[in-house]
Homo-oligomer: A and B are copies of this chain.
Amino acid sequence: MERSELEDRVAALEERVRTLEDQAAVLRLVASWGPAVDTGGPDGAAAAGALWADDGVLQSDISRLEGPAAITEMVLSDGQEALIRQGSAHVQALPVVTVEGDHATATNYSRVYRLAGDGHEIWRVSANVWELRRTSAGWRVTRRTNHLIDGGPEARELLQRAYR
């Protein structure tokens, strides 16, 4: 075998392994959101904000937040604090992840549960598109768009990102 052929194979492997690592990093980021917002307090709120890029946006059918500080503030709000004390679980389902260079998207379902009486009820089942960018500090969310699954076109348009 030529020396250069083996070098080419190693370079190809490095590229493939980097993509697998990127996919794993995106899964980890998406799975980290719930624990951060469901624990709250200064640490949880800071961890939730830190998932976002400086210009990152969290857009849902019920609110729009711009930048890590706004997200941290939301987690520290009275409303969120009350939800945490009630017993909340923001659970992300397995996403369809696509990595392209320094950009990635993850499309998935999410559910928010809250304790009500002696059991948990489902508060929201939503569709999500997470758009992410590789930064010098790792992957960060540039935009998460979230919409209640309500039979309307908005949630369906988000879900289409999984296969288009």
Q: Is A115 within 8 A of B151, CB to CB? A: yes
Q: How many residues belonging to A are interface residues under a CB distance threshold of 8 Å?
A: 69
Which of B24, B91, B151, B155 is close to A93, meaning CB atoms less than 8 Å apart? B91
**Residues of chain B with a CB closer than 8 A to A127's CB:** 35, 38, 89
Copies in the complex: 3
A82-98 vs B: 1/0 string, CB under 8 Å? 00111111011111110
Residues of A within 8 A of B (CB): 1, 3, 6-7, 9-10, 13-14, 16-17, 20-21, 23-24, 27-28, 30-32, 34-36, 38-40, 43-44, 47, 84-89, 91-97, 107-109, 111, 113, 115, 119-125, 127, 148-152, 155-157, 159-164
